């Protein structure tokens, strides 16, 4: 089968021919219908040798996946061949307390057991076939279009989880800020509009992304630059109730702290780095909280797909063939994609 692999540190991913994998006991093989390209893949491909070793190169990319159940390993029950499914990516052991609540993103045993998400350690979905380790990690797609909706497994689930954390702050009259209106951010805006009453402000460095933000429902859009804090304050003089930062570099962390109101929530979702001040005399607003969430729970993925089913969330997608997948990553890196790049094998 054909697959897109990140093979060597510092090199572009390439399309290679691999043996089609067979599902072992308890595993499910999918014929992949769609796979999304996430900025986290670019992050992995930017890591130096030592850190990249944890991802087991050559790595088949793709942690957003959808497919048709194609073959069942011994003992698999609950899914049938021919069923259309989306893949829940943050695989856990299924046995610990967090997994028992569906929060496999915070599995207590995954690291010790060497369990990694597909495309982020285990072979991913940018291939003709994908092995899913357990039927528990499949969510029925029904008649949802896999290409249109595959990105919801991460670009939908991750912002949904973050927004639910802040939802008690997002009452009518509240304000939410989305920093970075790319793959995750443009879905975040729609989820905020669908499940909260908050006024939504989007900030980005790209004019094109700000246009998209407005199209998908942001009430206000501003350039993410030195004028941003004043512009946000002109709309929300007492500070904002939640900031969803899909960039997370020192300037966006500082901006988030500058616009947050008391009891506000600052959610650092982007895989960047920097430091934030916390303390009564340190400058962060009273009783504000800072959180760095990772992905979401299994039941939340069901909920996100419902938002697509009822028409509240539509992912903007640019479609690429598997052969053109390296170009999708170039465009992601250059920041010229509209919404999410989706690879269709």
Interaction site with ligand NAD (CB under 6 A): 38-40, 43, 154, 158, 179-185, 203-206, 209, 224, 246-247, 251-252, 269-272, 293-295, 332, 335
**Candidate list 38, 141, 162, 166; residue touching Zn ion; CB under 5 A:** 38
Using CB distances below 5 to 8 A depending on partner kind, what does residue 192 bind out of Zn ion, ligand NAD, none? none
Measured between its terminal Cα atoms, the distance across the chain in Å is 10
Using CB distances below 5 to 8 A depending on partner kind, what does residue 21 bind out of Zn ion, ligand NAD, none? none
Considering beta carbons, is residue 13 or 270 the nearer one to ligand NAD? 270
CB of 7 to ligand NAD, least distance (A): 21
Considering beta carbons, is residue 35 or 135 the nearer one to ligand NAD? 35
CB of 37 to ligand NAD, least distance (A): 8
Candidates 3-11, 36-44, 71-79, 189-197; binding stretch for Zn ion (CB under 5 A): 36-44
If you search the block for the tokens 């070793």, which residue do you land on? 53
Considering beta carbons, is residue 118 or 256 the nearer one to Zn ion? 118
Q: CB neighbours (10 Å) of residue 227?
A: 10
Backbone angles phi, psi at 16, to 5 degrees: -130, 165
Rounded to 5°, angle at Cα 341 from 338 and 345: 150
List the one residue out of 317, 323, 341 whose CA is nearest residue 128: 323
Distance between CA 160 and CA 246 in Å, rounded? 13
Considering beta carbons, is residue 39 or 136 the nearer one to Zn ion? 39
List the one residue out of 54, 55, 60, 62 whose CA is nearest residue 37: 62
If you search the block for the tokens 């006024």, which residue do you land on? 199
Contacts of 215 (CB under 8 A, 6+ apart): none
Distance between CA 308 and CA 55 in Å, rounded? 32
Considering beta carbons, is residue 70 or 154 the nearer one to ligand NAD? 154
Considering beta carbons, is residue 84 or 304 the nearer one to ligand NAD? 304
Considering beta carbons, is residue 127 or 328 the nearer one to ligand NAD? 328
Binders of Zn ion among residues 147 to 166 (CB under 5 A) are 154
Using CB distances below 5 to 8 A depending on partner kind, what does residue 97 bind out of Zn ion, ligand NAD, none? none
> Is the bond preceding 58 in cis, omega lying within 30 degrees of 0?
yes
The answer to whether 129 touches 62, Cβ cutoff 8 Å, is no
Output the furthest CA–CA distance in the chain (Å, rounded): 61
Q: Does 40 bind Zn ion (CB under 5 A)?
A: yes
Using CB distances below 5 to 8 A depending on partner kind, what does residue 161 bind out of Zn ion, ligand NAD, none? none
CB of 210 to ligand NAD, least distance (A): 9
CB of 181 to Zn ion, least distance (A): 16
The answer to whether 62 touches 127, Cβ cutoff 8 Å, is yes
Binding site for Zn ion (CB under 5 A): 38, 40, 154
């Amino acid at each position: 089968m054909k697959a897109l692999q990140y093979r060597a540190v510092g090199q572009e991913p390439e399309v290679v021919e691999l043996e089609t994998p067979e599902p072992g006991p308890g595993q499910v093989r999918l014929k992949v219908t769609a796979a999304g390209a996430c900025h986290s893949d670019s992050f992995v491909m930017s890591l130096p040798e030592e850190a990249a070793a944890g991802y087991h190169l050559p790595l088949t990319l793709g942690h957003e996946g959808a497919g048709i159940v194609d073959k069942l390993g011994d003992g698999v029950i609950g899914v049938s061949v021919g069923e259309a499914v989306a893949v829940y990516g943050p695989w856990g052991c299924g046995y610990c307390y967090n997994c028992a609540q569906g929060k496999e993103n915070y599995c207590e045993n995954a690291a010790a057991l060497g369990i990694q998400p597909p495309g982020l350690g285990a072979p991913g979905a940018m291939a003709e076939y994908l092995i899913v380790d357990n039927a528990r990690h499949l969510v029925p797609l029904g008649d949802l279009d896999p290409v249109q909706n595959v990105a919801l497994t991460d670009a939908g689930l991750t912002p949904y989880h973050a927004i639910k954390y802040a939802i008690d702050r997002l009452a009518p009259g509240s304000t939410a800020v989305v920093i970075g209106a790319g793959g995750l951010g443009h879905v975040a805006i729609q989820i905020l509009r669908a499940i909260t009453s908050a006024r939504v402000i989007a900030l980005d460095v790209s004019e094109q992304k700000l246009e998209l933000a407005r199209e998908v429902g942001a009430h206000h859009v501003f350039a993410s630059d030195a004028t941003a804090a004043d512009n946000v304050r002109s709309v929300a003089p007492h500070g904002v109730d939640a900031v969803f930062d899909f960039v997370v570099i020192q300037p966006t962390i500082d901006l988030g702290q500058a616009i947050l109101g008391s009891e506000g929530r600052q959610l650092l979702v982007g895989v960047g780095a920097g430091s934030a001040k916390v303390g009564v005399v340190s400058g962060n607003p009273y009783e504000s909280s800072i959180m760095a969430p990772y992905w979401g729970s299994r039941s939340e993925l069901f909920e996100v797909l419902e938002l697509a089913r009822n028409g509240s969330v539509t992912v903007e997608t640019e479609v690429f063939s598997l052969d053109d997948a390296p170009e999708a990553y170039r465009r992601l890196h250059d920041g010229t994609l509209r919404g999410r790049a989706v690879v269709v094998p």
